[in-house]
């Protein structure tokens, strides 16, 4: 299968405690409309399914996630400067969110369409001083092995430090279905324990969330035969 080079873009949002369910849902709806912008290969926003560490102070207390894919850095920059994106942030995100964390990295993956997976896992890491090159490659392999994902689509160093809050490495994986038992069987606690005990990672956040726009997985209880999801 041919290798595709992509840019991964991740935003974590912390909604204010007083933000109503309606306002949060409206934010998610408006964020997902950004997938119509030219140059966006994939975009999905939604509420966090689970986050580790569980303590809000340690994890940042993030409540929502956006992940998007772009052909290159120029396409990502075009999204950030697009009037629709600026309007969405000013009108629907900033008024109800007290903080936003952003991370961007380049991936080389076997495919760039992830509509066959129902859940995503995002791991953001602060690396220890001096970790580079082979250490980063080994870290990717360790997270992949610990997560035992159905499809592993890689990680890489962050190239947008302004809103990254010190996190400098991102990892993305997909699960074929959202069954919570599978997420538990994939043991986020074990993943984090290995990261904490390893020689590379100083700090981390692990987030699982529903890839709601991509539910056509083989043998999935939610799949509809003959229906194409986008």
Instruction: Name all domains of the chain by residue range, CATH numbers in brackets.
Output: 4-210 (3.30.70.100)
205 neighbors 62 (Cβ within 8 angstroms): yes
Categorize the per-residue pLDDT at 70 as very low, low, confident or very high, splitting at 50, 70 and 90.
Answer: very high
Q: How many CA atoms lie within 13 A of 84 on its CB side?
A: 12
Task: Give the tens place of pLDDT for each residue, 132-158.
Answer: 666 666 776 666 665 555 455 678 889
Most trustworthy range by pLDDT among 145-154, 179-188, 200-209: 200-209
Give the pLDDT mean for 216-226: 29
Q: Kindly report the three-state secondary structure assignment for every residue of 186-200.
A: CCHHHHHHHHHHCCC
Do residues 67 and 210 make contact, with C-beta atoms less than 8 angstroms apart?
no
Nearest to 13 by CA among 100, 95, 75: 100
Answering whether pTM is above 0.75, one says: yes
Q: What is the Cα–Cα distance from 61 to 13, expressed in whole angstroms?
A: 9
Instruction: Pick the range with the lowest mean pLDDT from 34-38, 40-44, 211-215, 220-224.
Output: 220-224
Cα angle for residues 36, 42, 47 (degrees, 5° grid)? 95
Q: Which pLDDT does position 20 carry in this prediction?
A: 97
In the chain, at which residue ranges do the beta strands (DSSP E only) sit?
4-15, 40-52, 64-70, 97-109, 119-127, 151-157, 169-175, 201-210
pLDDT of 25 > 90? The answer is yes
Residue 137's H or E segment, with its range, is helix 134-147
Q: How confident is the model at residue 9 (pLDDT cuts 50, 70, 90)?
A: very high
> Mean per-residue pLDDT for 203-212?
82
């Amino acid at each position: 299968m041919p290798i595709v080079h992509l840019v991964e873009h991740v935003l974590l949002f912390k909604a204010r405690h007083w933000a109503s369910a309606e306002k949060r849902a409206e934010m998610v709806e408006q964020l997902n409309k950004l997938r119509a912008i030219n140059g966006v290969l994939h975009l999905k926003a939604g509420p966090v399914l689970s986050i580790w560490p569980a303590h809000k102070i340690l994890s940042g207390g993030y409540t929502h996630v956006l992940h998007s894919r772009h052909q290159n850095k120029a396409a990502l920059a075009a999204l950030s400067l697009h009037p629709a994106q600026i309007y969405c942030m000013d009108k629907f995100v900033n008024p109800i969110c007290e903080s936003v964390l952003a991370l961007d990295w380049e991936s080389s993956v076997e495919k760039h369409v992830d509509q066959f997976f129902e859940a995503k896992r995002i791991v953001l890491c602060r690396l220890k001083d001096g970790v580079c090159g082979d250490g980063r490659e080994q870290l990717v392999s360790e997270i992949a092995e610990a997560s035992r994902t159905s499809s592993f689509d890689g990680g890489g160093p962050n190239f947008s430090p302004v809103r990254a809050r010190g996190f400098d490495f991102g990892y993305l994986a997909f699960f074929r279905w959202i069954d919570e038992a599978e997420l538990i069987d994939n043991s986020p606690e074990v993943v984090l324990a290995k990261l904490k005990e390893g020689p590379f990672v100083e700090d981390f956040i692990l987030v699982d969330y529903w890839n709601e726009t991509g539910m056509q997985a083989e043998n999935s209880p939610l799949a509809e035969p003959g229906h194409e999801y986008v």
